[in-house]
Amino acid sequence: MRNRIVTFGVALAAGLLLAVTSSTPAAAEAVALRLNWTVNGGNCTWFLGLDRGYFKDQGLDLTIKEGSGSATGVKLIASGDTTFAYVDYTSTAVAISRGMPIKAVFGVERQGPLGVMTLKEWGVERPQDLVGKKIGTSTRGSGGQLFAAFLRRNDVPPDKVKLVGYGGGERVIAMLEKQVHGFVGFFTTDAVGVIAKGVPLNILKFTEWGMNIMGPGVVVNTETIAKQPQLIRRFITGARRTWAEARTHPEEAVAATIRRFPKENASVLLLQLKLMLGNIDSPHSAGRPIGWMAREDWDEMQRTFVEVKEIRRAIPVEQYYTNEFLPQ
């Protein structure tokens, strides 16, 4: 009799332990997302996902880290120092073409932010109006070469437009002081200060004139794709909910950011975000869920980069991206 009581007691204790264990939620998996730059309107949406619990719902304990440029971000992904990075697909494409083990998995700004901004008084409404004008461009990166390719696509001889090199924000100042007629840059960020001041601008968006250079999206290491596909799916599920919410409630995305970065200018962030959200869909991805990427957009971007010699040799476009983690 005593043995049966002891046996029953052990079984009861084991059952209670199992019940307690099964009712305890599993610890969330810690992952990090590296941004392309410090906080701005183009990347602040991710904080909305934290506030809404969209990543927590997927069992992810997400940490968002500010970045110091997309070139750095792709290197961190390639080296395995971070799991996810939100970086420009220009840097991504060049890195992949040179053998870095990374891949795009969630396209956000599928229509590029590059453009030529000019004071409205100069009457530049089409590429042909740039003939004889002085245009400022960055002394860093491939902005000048891309602008030359943009001109060629629109039958404007590059030598008919004078390029003037500037560092940082000097391009904007030069335009306002009428040292140049305009400048090449990201209209989602570089033009915001001018627009906020009420200065009338004309913007020639590269995408509207035959050249789509995609903006940022999410990149992972190819080893993560091979070994942790479910982790990527869970992250993308949270990302899709986050960006869908931001499209309908951009003010909430800014509010989530200001709670963490109270010194940021909310009105500037909101203007940047609204401009950026206008670039979510390219003509080839319109009607598709956010994150889905079109082969035509990658093909176009590679063709342009081969033309300006940023990519030495074309590779199969499937090496750049995959839609396999999105709902089919």
Is the domain of 267 the same as that of 233? yes
Q: Give the integer Cα–Cα distance in Å for 63 and 59.
A: 13
Is the domain of 74 the same as that of 139? no
Q: Are 44 and 257 in contact (CB under 8 A)?
A: yes
Q: Give the integer Cα–Cα distance in Å for 142 and 138.
A: 8
Classify residue 20: in a domain, yes or no. no
CATH number where 309 lies: 3.40.190.10
Q: Per DSSP, what are the bridge partners of residue 136? A: 164, 183
Is the domain of 279 the same as that of 191? no
Is the domain of 218 the same as that of 315? yes
> Once rounded to an integer, what is the mean pLDDT over residues 275-284?
95
The strand pair at 216-221 and 84-88 is best described as: antiparallel
Evaluate if residue 23 carries a pLDDT over 70.
no
Cα distance between the two ends of the chain:
62
Classify residue 1: in a domain, yes or no. no
> Once rounded to an integer, what is the mean pLDDT over residues 126-133?
98
User: Could you say which of 209, 243, 260 is where a domain stops?
Assistant: 209
Q: Specify the pLDDT at position 196.
A: 85
pTM above 0.85, yes or no: yes
Is the domain of 118 the same as that of 132? yes
Is the domain of 302 the same as that of 221? yes
Classify residue 9: in a domain, yes or no. no
Classify residue 200: in a domain, yes or no. yes
Is the domain of 191 the same as that of 153? yes
Is the domain of 119 the same as that of 201? yes
Number of folded domains that form the chain: 2
User: Could you say which of 153, 179, 209 is where a domain stops?
Assistant: 209
User: Could you say which of 209, 224, 252 is where a domain stops?
Assistant: 209
> How does pLDDT run across 292-326, given as a tens digit for each residue?
999 999 999 999 999 999 999 999 999 999 999 99
Read off φ and ψ for residue 7, nearest 5 degrees: -60, -45
Q: Give the integer Cα–Cα distance in Å for 22 and 73.
A: 39
Q: Specify the pLDDT at position 3.
A: 44
> How does pLDDT run across 244-272, given as a tens digit for each residue?
999 999 999 999 999 999 999 999 999 99
Is the domain of 195 the same as that of 308? no
Is the domain of 89 the same as that of 237? yes
The strand pair at 134-138 and 60-65 is best described as: unpaired
Structure tokens at 234: 């869970």
Q: Specify the pLDDT at position 197.
A: 87
Q: Specify the pLDDT at position 148.
A: 93
Q: Give the integer Cα–Cα distance in Å for 231 and 237.
A: 10
Classify residue 161: in a domain, yes or no. yes
Is the domain of 47 the same as that of 94? yes
The domain in which residue 179 lies consists of 114-209
Angle at 58 between CA 292 and CA 221, to 5 degrees: 55
Q: Specify the pLDDT at position 57.
A: 98
Classify residue 98: in a domain, yes or no. yes
Percentage of residues in the chain with pLDDT exceeding 90? Answer: 84
Classify residue 22: in a domain, yes or no. no
Is the domain of 107 the same as that of 226? yes
pLDDT class of 25 with cuts at 50, 70, 90: low
Evaluate if residue 27 carries a pLDDT over 90.
no
Classify residue 8: in a domain, yes or no. no
